[in-house]
Amino acid sequence: MASYRQLYYHVVFGTKFRKPTIPDVHCQLLYKYIWGILENKKCKLYRINGGKEHIHLLVDIHLTIVVSTLVKDLKVSTSIWLKEQLEFQQFEGWAEGFAVFTVSHTDKDRVIEYIKGQKEHHQKLTFMDEYKALMKEYGIDFDEKELE
């Protein structure tokens, strides 16, 4: 008998020191690169977007892949690739940590719309304020000093 799953993960990670090193004008290049990595790992990307200092993904991760391993692979692969691209000359690396939240099927479309609206959203709110709000929304205890 086959195995089935539907596991939506909202993944968020930022640039090193939260520096704005992902130019809006070139971010689609990065998003396409990430999509290719996910496709090769048999993961389904539902939405990707972000700001100059972070990325949001809504992804269904294949059963054989551990979430933390996937995020590590994404960060390592994209870091190498970004440093080779002229469009991302300022990129220094990704921050050490990340956040991941499970999303129910009924909330999937809401999260897609949230991720879609990232550019507009961050005209009013900083990445760190958003990050803290997401942690609170999902009931995650965190030490604000660790986010600095």
Rounded to the nearest 10 degrees, the angle between the axes of helix 67-84 and helix 27-40 is 140
Q: What is the pLDDT of residues 12-21, one digit of tens each?
A: 999 999 999 9
Is the pLDDT assigned to residue 146 strictly greater than 80? no
Residue 2 confidence (pLDDT): 81
121 within 8 A of 130, measured Cβ to Cβ: yes
- With vertex at residue 68, the alpha carbon angle to CA 134 and CA 24, rounded to the nearest 5 degrees, is 55
Can you list the pairs that 63-72 forms with residues at least 24 positions away whose Cβ atoms lie under 8 Å?
63/3, 63/5, 65/41, 67/9, 67/11, 67/100, 70/41, 70/43, 71/11, 71/13, 71/98, 71/100
Task: Give the pLDDT score at 3.
Answer: 81
CATH of domain 18-139: 3.30.70.1290
pLDDT digits (tens, 9 = 90+) for 80-128: 999 999 999 999 999 999 999 999 999 999 999 999 999 888 888 899 8
Q: Taking 70 as the threshold, does the pLDDT of residue 148 lie above it? A: no
CA angle 127, 37, 41 (to 5 degrees): 120
Q: For residue range 61-79, list pLDDT tens digits in order.
A: 999 999 999 999 999 999 9
- Which residue, 74, 63, 53, is CA-closest to 11? 74
Distance (Å, whole) CA 31 – CA 119: 14
18-37 burial by CB neighbour count: b if 16+ within 10 A, else e?
A: beebbeeeebebbbebbbeb
3-state secondary structure of 143: coil
Is pTM beyond 0.85 here?
yes
Per-residue pLDDT tens over the stretch 117-133: 998 888 888 998 898 89
